[in-house]
Structure formats: C-alpha cells, structure tokens
Amino acid sequence: MEVIQTNIPGILIIEPGVFKDSRGYFFESFSQREFDQKVTPILGHSINFVHDNESMSSYGVMRGLHYQRMPYTQSKLVRCVKGAVLDVAVDIRKGSPTFGQHVSCLLTGRDEEGVKIAEEFAKESAIKNLL
C-alpha cells in the first residue's frame, strides 16, 4: 500500500498493492494492520473503521456535500469499483489554515486507489461516464 499526502492534512490518496497476471488481478482492499503502519504515523492518531458502506449512483448524479457533526463524525475511505467518480473533500474545520480549500480526485474502476477523508470534512461525489 502506498500513501500519498495531498495539500490538505487529513486527506490522503491510498494506493493498494495490486498483483496482476494473465488471470486478472488481486488486491487487499483494506487491512487495518497495514493502514495503522502507514497512515497512523502521518495523521498522528489511529483510525478504527467500524463499518463499510457501498452506494451506486446513476450517470450524471451529483450527491452534494455531506458530513456528520460531533459526536457522530466519521473518517471515510472511498474507492470506485466500476465506472468513475470525481470525489471532492472540502475542509470545513473552523480555524483550520486550509479552511475552505478542497482536494478532488478522479477514482475509476480501472485503478484501485482510494481516498482517505478525515473527520470534519465535507464530501461530494459526481458520477462520470468515462467508458
């Protein structure tokens, strides 16, 4: 797993190790152990993901910015399994030096990378047709 830092602390690009051969490919989509080893030192604290959600959106759908307030905040690990999605995270932390700034990342079913979004960030996804 490779971890790429963005210009906003708390938003990371996660690229899993992918093993490809003539049959196809295999990768571990999430490992708490490896996540703790590689992400916790960057963030300065650990994250324990407690549930996994999946959604499907029709072509052209824009889901809008959404977030949870304390004490219900959630960190997110986002990836696209089919098609493409433009995922956007906006820093809405009051007093943050990057308040109002955003990171956008095009995720596709053709690559396996994901985006780690910290708590207290608003997240939006727009579905694109790249096929």
Q: State which H helix or E strand residue 119 sits in.
A: none
17-44 pLDDT tens trace: 888 889 888 888 888 899 899 999 998 9
45-56 pLDDT tens trace: 888 877 777 777
Residue 79 has pLDDT above 60, yes or no: yes
Q: Domains of the chain by range and CATH?
A: 2-128 (2.60.120.10)
Residue 118 has pLDDT above 80, yes or no: no
- pLDDT recorded at residue 15: 84
Higher local confidence (pLDDT), 100 or 118 = 100
Higher local confidence (pLDDT), 131 or 92 = 92
Convert 79-106 to b/e letters by CB count within 10 Å (16 or more is b). bbeebbbebbbbbebeeeebeeebbebe
Peptide bond into 97 cis (omega under 30): no
- pLDDT recorded at residue 33: 92
The residue behind tokens 């096929």 is 131
State pTM to two decimals: 0.68
Higher local confidence (pLDDT), 26 or 122 = 26
pLDDT tier, 127 (very low <50, low <70, confident <90, very high otherwise)? low
- pLDDT recorded at residue 54: 75
Pairwise CA distance, residues 99 & 9, whole Å: 11
